[in-house]
Every structure is written in C-alpha cells, then in structure tokens.
Structure 1
Amino acid sequence: MESIGHFLLRRLREVGISHVIGVPGDFNLQLLEQFSEVEGIEFVNSTNELNAAYAADGYARQRGIGALLTTYGVGELSALNGVAGAAAEHVPVVSIAGAPPLHAMRSGLPLHHSLTDGNYINVERAFGQFVAGTARLTPGNAVAEIDRLLRLAILEKRPVHIQVPSDISYLEIDTPSEPFQAPRLTSDPTNLADAVVAIADLVNGAEKPALLIDLEAKRYGWADVLLRIARENGIRWATLVTSKAVLPETDPLFAGVYGGANSAPEVKDLIEGSDALLAISPRFIEVNSGIFTQALPENTVKIYADTTFVGTHVYEGVAAADLLSKLADSLHRAPASLAHKPARTFEAKADAKLDQNSGRLWEQITDFVRPGDVVVAEAGTSYLALGGQTMPEGVDYTSSNIWGAIGWTLPVTFGWQLAAPDRRHLLVIGDGSFQLTAQELSTILARGQKPVIVLINNSGYTIERYILGHESHYNDIAPWDYASLIAGLAPNADLRTFQARTEGELASALSAVSDGEGGFIEVIVDPLDAPDALVKFGPASARFDYGRRGPELPNLG
C-alpha cells in the first residue's frame, strides 16, 4: 500500500526528475507536504506559474523530462503558455495541478479559482489541446493514469497534464513495487529490414549524399549514431536553426545551417543538390526555412520517430533508433579526410563601439563560449545572431525558435541550472524580454546559481522595430537600472555586475566572469543596431505577415 501522492512523486523520481518547480496554492499544499516522504525529489519555488513552466522546460532539455506543480485554474492557466511552448518544441514536461476536492467537483459546487458554474472539466480540456494526454486522478485510476501519462510524455516527447484532487493525495492504494520501466519505440521487423535496405542502397550508390538534422535528433538521443554515420561514411551535414549544435559544429563535415533561400550557397548546394538526402525529422516553419523556401531533392529520405519515408514509399512502425543503428552497420562509403576547422580567436579593439550589424559583438560573445557550456539564446536579436555563429563541441545550445516566447530564456536558465549545476551557463537576453520574467532572477540568486547573463540593452523590441514600427512608441520599453536589480532582488547575492559600451569594456567583463562565478553584463547598443540576419528577417517577415497591401517599410529595405 502507498499513498497516491507518494506514488506520483516516486514515479517522477524514477524517470529522472529530482526537482519539481512550481508555486504553492491551497489545492496543492497537501501534496507539497508529501515531498518530505520521498527521498531524492525536491519542490522548488518559482516566482510565478508561467516562469515555473519555462523553468521545467529548461530542466527537461537537460534531464530528458521535467515537472511542474501549480494549483487549480488560476495557476494552471497561468502556466499553460509555457506548457504549450514545450509541446511546440517537443519537450516532455509533466504538468501537475492540485485540484479542488474530488467530492466538490463531482457535486458541481461553486468554488474559488473556478467560474462558479460547477464546470470542472474546462481547464483540463484547455490543456488537452496542447498536451499528449490529461488525467484527473481518483483512487481507482491513479496507478494506471500516472504510468500511462509518463509513458506518453517519454514516447511522444510532449507534455502531459495531471490533476490531483486535494482530498486524495494521502489516500492509500495498491501500487506496484517495481520501478517504472521507461518505454521505447519498437519496430516491425519486416518494415525495418526493408527500410534499411532501401536507404542503404540509395546512400551507397549516391555521389552526393548529405544529412539534414532537426530537433528530434536531440530529443530522442540520436546524435551519437548520426555522428557515426556521418564520420564513417564521409557524409556532410547541415542542421536547421531549430537543431543548432546537436552535432559538433567544429567538425569538418559540418556545412552550416540550412534555411532555404537564406542559406549560404555552399549549404544550399549541399542539401538541395544531394542525390541521397537523409532528413532527420524535418519540420519546416517560416523561421527555419527562409519563409518556406526549402527545396529538398527528389531522393530525400525522411526519418521520423516511428515512420520513415523513402521517396513515395512509407515504412510505418519503424523506430528511428533501430533504423539508424542498423543503417550505421549497412553503409559502406569511404570516410572523408578533411582538416578540422581552425579555432577562431577574437581580438577586441579597446575603444571600438559595440556593433551588432558587423557581427563583431556576436563574434566576441561566441569567443567566450567553451566546450561543454550551455548557451541559452533569447528570441529576437540573440538567436538570429548566434544562429550564424559556430559553437564549440559539447555545447548545448537552446532557444525558443518555434514557440518564440520572449522572456522564456531567463527561467529556462534557472531550470537548466537545477538540472546541471556543474555546467557553465551563458544566457544572452534582450532588455524587453528580460522585463517579462525578470523576477525569476531572484530565484536564481537565492539558490546561489552563477550564470553569466549578457543583457542586450537596446531600449526596446528591436526585432519588432525591424518588422514594423522602427520608431513607433509601442516598441519602446521603460528604462530600468538593470545593475541595481541584483541588490534589490537578492540583497545577499554576490553576482558581479558590469556595463559595456565598447569592445574593450566587454572583453574586461567577460574575462572577469570566465572563472565560473557568474556575472551580469549589460551591453548597451543603439535601438536600431541589429545583426544582419535581423535586418533581412524583419522586412521579409513584414511582407509575409501583412501581405502586399500591408504597411510599407521603404526605410528598412
């Protein structure tokens, strides 16, 4: 016998979760009391539910799965934006909410945190639009539903949502004593064998094979076998910006980032001119395809988690992990002998004004990155600029490319540090984005975390300025004294603060924080100073968003 709450927390621990991030609320307090009963798992307070959802997303990107705890209605719906973002980016997060007493929901009693209409299915239905599965626990279904949803999250790499009524978490039920067994996708033997033969024949006979990699290679752990396939057979690869740095970008076989018409000529020729392209779970959206200008060749193999397409033939029930493993043993091409790319070094010009458009600011920031770092790039100037920089081997690079939620990165950095406290974390965030979730800096400081935070202060939403309204007041933000926030949010914190307007000042600041003790560096640039990628992206985005009769931007090209 085991209580429902104890069983839930034990299962979370067994799948690799040692921190559950959230906000206390009256309907989840009994479950919170039970954390002390389960070794190896801790509840960690966040400043609000949206930030907690973002932090759980960051945690899951390191650990493979994360967990979030809120309270019914007001807490759940505040977190839904973050859960939806995890769904869009294929990140498994277990969203848990303390719900009103089971008897009250069954009776339709009008309670606070509800619409007082007796409807207690509406919030669960809202989550159901964005997650792989939902459940409201009862003593009768708790074991089956908890295990079902954990399996769904792991198999589909998407969030799930569990409501725990406040009056049941201490109830004792029969539970399995065996640890949770993580599921894996399995293959139909015949379809697997046929797919391997078809792909191997295509690649072995090709003159210009290539790999194109998207984010599921990271989510499902295929990076090592893909690297083996590439290196043992001399196959060059490119990534979409949504999967940047999944494979080492310093490898001579790495061609660059493919983005349709926006690709460098060498990358475009490699992908579009290939006579045997292995595309790993490609998912094209406007921001990673040059606004849908991708042009994959006829002999493209598309490999998804459980389905493979070879030309017009579909092989259902083929697990990509099995396929790639067998394919690695079936390819017989000669490895390439290419020289490794020389490491670049950046030499700062002491009095030179910091400048994004030339790319020097981003070269200087990239020069700071070391193998094994975690680099978190905010939506906007940061991810557009860093997307074109080469990351050292072993770097985890992440950004909200698909959901594109600004402010996402600060709490994500908090969650990632919880999951990997021994790694160095670099967050590059804009001032407008920072203001959305700045309160989570207090949690980072209170827990003694030591990230390096580079805040780009350009007085507003520069990415929006280049789409529309480059001088419009709606793209301005209130000026903050960012350096003073540290003392205000955490009086006892010792995170060092710096301001930089020149390359020399930024060089001094980066040198001072390179020891792993962290720091907060405010980089001050002009409001319309922007990386070249953004200068091109903004007007193209405006044309796509507003059409030929939309606002004209003659001054932006």
Structure 2
Amino acid sequence: MRGSIGSMLLDRLRHLGVSRIYGVPGDYNLEFLELIEQTPGIEFVGTCNELNAAYAADGDARLAGIGAVLVTYGVGDLSCLSAVAGASAEGVPLVVISGMPPWHAIQSRALVHHTLADGNYDNVLNCYRQFTVACARLNPATAVAETDRVLQAVQALRRPVYIQFPSDICYVAVDVPPPPTVAAVSDPGLLARAAEQVVRRISQARKPVVLIDAMVRQYGLRERVQALCTTFGIPYAALSTARTLLPESGPEWLGQYGGAASAPAVADYVQAADCVIALGVRFVDSTSGYFSQQIAPGAMVDVQPFSLTCNGENIQGITAADLLDSVHQRLASVRMARPERIAPPAAPTAPAPQGEGWAQAPFWRRVESFLQPADVVVADNGSSMTAMLHARLPAGCSLLVQPVWAAIGYSLPASLGACLARPERRHVLFIGDGSFQMTVQELSTLLRHEANITIFLINNGGYTIERMILGPQSAYNDIANWRYADLPQVFDPDRAPRTFRVASMDELETALDQAAAHKGVNFIEVLFTPMDAPAGMAKMGAAVRRYDYGIDLPDQT
C-alpha cells in the first residue's frame, strides 16, 4: 500500500509499542510534529530540553518496553546524546529521531544553522554511531528499508538507535509493506549442546546460584528466570542494576550481590557456589564493590543475550530466552538434589526509636516503611541510590536506578517517563540537591501532567557523594542553596502541589501522613548536614578514592 514516509515511521513505532514521543520542537521537525498530532495512538510529550527528553524516554522504556525521542538537528542531537549513551550503557531500547535540514540543503552542502556552517552533515551521525546499535539517514528511495533495518536492530539488541529525518520528506508517498517480523532464532544443534551443558552443571552442583543483571529486564526474561528458580529451588541474587526485577522475598531470594558491598551472608553464598548461572552479568566497578566480586574458579556459567560460555567453551548462535526455556524443559526430567539454603533475609527494619535525633539513618528507616507494594521507586546517583539499594522494598515495587552510567540528574526526568508509562501506580522519587539542580526544569512537566508522585529532595548542601571521596570541606563540592520547597508553586501556581520542608522526625511524620493521603505531586524537602549520609557511603567513598587516586585518607566524616 501507499503512504507517506512520516506516517510509515509512526506506524512502525506504534507497531513496536511506542505510544509517547518525548522531545522539543525545532524548525526541522515541525512538520513531523504536525503529523504526530493528527495520528491516533501516539502523542508528543514536550519537555524542557532534549537531555531531559531522552532521560524521560529512558524511564518510560524501563517500564513500557521501549521509548522514543524527537529532537532537532545538531543542537538537539548533541543535547540529548549523554542520555542516549546512558541508555546504551544500561541496556535501554530508545528510538531517537532527529529532524534534520531538507534534502536539497544536504545535497548542496548548504551552510545552514544548527550546523558548523562548513557543509558537513556527517559529523552528528558519526557521534551517534558511537552510542547506538544502528543509525540511518532517511531518503525517499530507501526510507522504508532503512527504517525497518534500524527498528529491527532496536528490537533485537535492545539498545538505542538513531534516525535522521530530513524536513522535506515527511509527506513523500512511498510503497509501504507490512512491518517485518523480528524474532531471533537459535540454531537447534547449538541450542541443544548449550542447554545440555547448563543442565549438567546445575544438576551436579551442590550449591548453585543464579545471578541476574540488567539483561533480564532488557530482554524481558523475568518470568523465565523466576520459573527456573522457583521450580527447581535455585537461589538467586541480583546486581544493583537488576534490583526488583524478580521478587525480593521467598526462599530463593538471597539479596543484592556486589562483591564486598554485599551483605555477608549473600557474599559468602555466592563465593562458595559451585555453579553461578550469570545472566548478562557485567562486573562494573559500581556494581561489584569496586571489582571485589569473588567467584570460585570454574563456577561461572556465563549466559549473554546470544551466547553461552561454559566449561571453557563459547557457543554462539543461541538466544538467552531459548536457552532458559530449553534448560527448564530438560531439568524437569533430571533428578537433582535441592540446593543448600542460607538463612532468609532479615526482617524489615524497625521504625526509628522514639526520640532519636534527626539524621539520615532514621530518615531512611522511616521512609522505607512509607513505601507501599507496587510503588515505582526512582533514586538518583549518590545518597538516594545508596540508601535505596540497601533498602528492603515492598512486594511488587519497581526500582529505577542508573548505576552504570551514573549521571546525576537522571532520575527527575526519568520519573516523568515512568509516571506517564504507568499512571495507575504511585511513584516515589529520591533525589539530592546537586542532582536536582541538573534537571529541575522537568518538575514543571510533572506538574503539568498531574503526575502521581512524591518527591523527596535531599538537601545536604552540595555533592555529599563527592565529599565522601575527596574534599569534604572543599568549596568545589558546594552548590547554591535554593528555596527548593518554593519551586513547585513557582513552576505551576494553579495546581498548588503539597510542599513540605522537613528538619525533624516530627515534621517528617506530618509530611508523610499528608503525602500518603494526597494523590498528585507531593514535594518534601529534607535538610541534613553536608557529611550526613546513608550507611555504606563512607566505605564506598574510600573504595573510589583508592581506585581513582590510589590514596588512603583518614575518615572523611
């Protein structure tokens, strides 16, 4: 059938499950935006800048499966590139569409704005090639084929892709076939060999464990992994990148694993395991306690999206999904002993004792009990992420963090995307003052969309996570002290969100009670001294200091 290039692209995006496109209007994408407004089933969500748009699409994709961003050429592309790189590092599928100058300008190397005025139209494309799994510049002759190639890549590899869309081709008519089917297929013989190796390792193991990383979210493997562990009684642990992907209760749940940063019982179990089924595991500094992981020699069974490494052999040509299905089926006919267990995780932390002074430790204990089943919890890099990674979260919670790319400011716009992806759920954001100042503009967008979110602004007078590493008293770790609790009223006076400024346990109790009763935006600023931090941050700071600078210093606190 015939259709316009713009309509073809929107139809392909809807077919993938995209229903929101985040971005900023620019003169090279306006005609495409006009088409979006006329197209049912897909909406444009305007953000305050392109960086925030890509962060929002990232948050959306983590809950909805895929995200999309629309920017204008050059200035918009490079503004959002850091967030796109973060999505690539963390395994988040995004489609980035750039409205670029018209084809006649590209072909004539015209010196137009939003370029370097040198006739070069390849430099931005070359930038994106470093951080995406596929790129394309559409033209009428190959627009459909190139669109399908790029969108097949985002489906198969589950990382960002990039499409340049010249401004003058939106309504050009082309032949549009049905979208192609994308399904990675395993080689049957290689799959059988791989599954046989994994089954043999599990069935012979005295102490197997499954270790999960972000691949489980990235490729939609939650149900398969949970079924494998619960059916055959195999304990599992999660890296920080995979918290809440599987239920964090029950006899199989061990806890979070991060090398020396793990709870002692979890670290001991994983270290003693004779079969570690590692699902997409990457031991990054920030997820491994600065490379302090200890896996017994020969214990690792390394399952990646399209390969298995086991017993010194690497097998390609398979998918992790097919491998898990085959292993599950084969284990059902194998007699195996039930694995050893460790003691169940400790009971939830008790509320802070009456009369305890104001500090981060009692604050985090109290807000942990504020969280409810099925909440979406987002935590920014620093104090907030450290606290939430040590927290016991209620059943059904989703924790969104970015420990690999670790960009401060990610969490606020990511919360916007998460709120729009799952408006039926309550959202809770924890963000420090330094992170907040990076992307504060998107608070106005949360208010405009009447998001159901409670925001805890941790005001500790600057970059506490950096103070823990180096320079606890140094001016470079200080920031301007805004009147944070006044900002919601400034950004949207008509909606009158609930705001609180908290500096004691009594004030916190009042704020939590009122926030729990109010559906909508709640903004709670909590004040701490600069070196007050959650448990574990000082130890982490020392590990970073040793690794980055090769020095040990006296206690920074």
Structures share a fold, TM > 0.5?
yes
Separation (CA, whole Å) in 2 of partners of 1:43 and 1:277:
44
- The yes-or-no answer on 1:174 pairing with 2:189 is no
Aligned partner of 2:274 in structure 1 is 275
Give the Å deviation of 1:263: 2.2
Residues 73 and 123 of structure 1 are in contact (CA less than 8 Å); yes or no, is this contact kept in structure 2?
Answer: yes
TM-score normalised per structure 1: 0.95
Residues 450 and 495 of structure 1 are in contact (CA less than 8 Å); yes or no, is this contact kept in structure 2?
Answer: no
Aligned partner of 2:529 in structure 1 is 526
Residues 348 and 504 of structure 1 are in contact (CA less than 8 Å); yes or no, is this contact kept in structure 2?
Answer: no
Give the Å deviation of 1:181: 4.9
Residues 378 and 415 of structure 2 are in contact (CA less than 8 Å); yes or no, is this contact kept in structure 1?
Answer: yes
Q: Secondary structure at the match of 1:532?
A: coil
Cα distance change on mapping 1:300 and 1:341 into 2, 3 Å: closer
- The yes-or-no answer on 1:313 pairing with 2:313 is yes
Residues 495 and 520 of structure 1 are in contact (CA less than 8 Å); yes or no, is this contact kept in structure 2?
Answer: yes
Give the Å deviation of 1:262: 2.4
Give the Å deviation of 1:344: 2.9
Residues 37 and 44 of structure 2 are in contact (CA less than 8 Å); yes or no, is this contact kept in structure 1?
Answer: no
Aligned partner of 1:136 in structure 2 is 137
Give the Å deviation of 1:330: 2.1
Q: Secondary structure at the match of 2:11?
A: helix
Residues 59 and 66 of structure 1 are in contact (CA less than 8 Å); yes or no, is this contact kept in structure 2?
Answer: yes
Residues 73 and 100 of structure 2 are in contact (CA less than 8 Å); yes or no, is this contact kept in structure 1?
Answer: yes
- The yes-or-no answer on 1:62 pairing with 2:66 is no
Separation (CA, whole Å) in 1 of partners of 2:262 and 2:395:
22
Aligned partner of 2:540 in structure 1 is 537
Aligned partner of 1:457 in structure 2 is 459
Matches within 5 A, 1:337-348: 344=348, 346-348=350-352
Aligned partner of 1:152 in structure 2 is 153
Q: Secondary structure at the match of 1:556?
A: coil
Matches within 5 A, 1:288-437: 288-297=287-296, 298-331=298-331, 332=334, 333=336, 344=348, 346-349=350-353, 351-356=355-360, 359-437=361-439
Separation (CA, whole Å) in 1 of partners of 2:215 and 2:14:
24
Q: Secondary structure at the match of 1:554?
A: coil
Separation (CA, whole Å) in 1 of partners of 2:440 and 2:434:
10
Aligned partner of 1:117 in structure 2 is 118
Counterpart code for 2:268: D
Counterpart code for 2:509: A
**Considering only aligned residues, what root-mean-square deviation do their CA atoms show, in Å?**
1.7
Q: Secondary structure at the match of 2:301?
A: strand
Counterpart code for 1:533: G
TM-score normalised per structure 2: 0.95
Matches within 5 A, 1:209-248: 209-248=208-247
Give the Å deviation of 1:220: 0.9
Cα distance change on mapping 1:340 and 1:392 into 2, 3 Å: farther
Separation (CA, whole Å) in 2 of partners of 1:399 and 1:182:
32
Aligned equivalent of 1:496, options 495, 498, 509: 498
Residues 352 and 366 of structure 2 are in contact (CA less than 8 Å); yes or no, is this contact kept in structure 1?
Answer: yes
Separation (CA, whole Å) in 1 of partners of 2:259 and 2:251:
22
Q: Secondary structure at the match of 1:499?
A: strand
Question: What are the superposed Cα offsets for residues 272-327 of structure 1, whole Å, 9 maximum, x if unpaired?
Answer: 21111111111111111111122222121111111011120111111110111121
Give the Å deviation of 1:342: 7.9
Name stretches of at least 5 consecutive residues in structure 1 with no aligned partner.
Answer: none
Separation (CA, whole Å) in 1 of partners of 2:55 and 2:225:
29
Residues 423 and 452 of structure 2 are in contact (CA less than 8 Å); yes or no, is this contact kept in structure 1?
Answer: no
Name stretches of at least 5 consecutive residues in structure 2 with no aligned partner.
Answer: none
Question: What are the superposed Cα offsets for residues 9-50 of structure 1, whole Å, 9 maximum, x if unpaired?
Answer: 111111111110000000000111111332100111100011
Give the Å deviation of 1:232: 1.5
Matched-pair identity in %:
45
Give the Å deviation of 1:338: 9.4
Q: Secondary structure at the match of 1:293?
A: coil
Give the Å deviation of 1:507: 2.5
Separation (CA, whole Å) in 1 of partners of 2:358 and 2:98:
46
Give the Å deviation of 1:505: 2.2
Aligned partner of 1:439 in structure 2 is 441
Give the Å deviation of 1:343: 5.9
Counterpart code for 1:92: P
Question: What are the superposed Cα offsets for residues 174-227 of structure 1, whole Å, 9 maximum, x if unpaired?
Answer: 111x3x355232111011111111111111121111111111111111111111
Residues 352 and 504 of structure 1 are in contact (CA less than 8 Å); yes or no, is this contact kept in structure 2?
Answer: no
Separation (CA, whole Å) in 2 of partners of 1:84 and 1:169:
27
Counterpart code for 2:11: R
Question: What are the superposed Cα offsets for residues 341-374 of structure 1, whole Å, 9 maximum, x if unpaired?
Answer: 6863643445433322xx3322222212222111
Separation (CA, whole Å) in 2 of partners of 1:335 and 1:517:
47
Separation (CA, whole Å) in 1 of partners of 2:366 and 2:470:
29
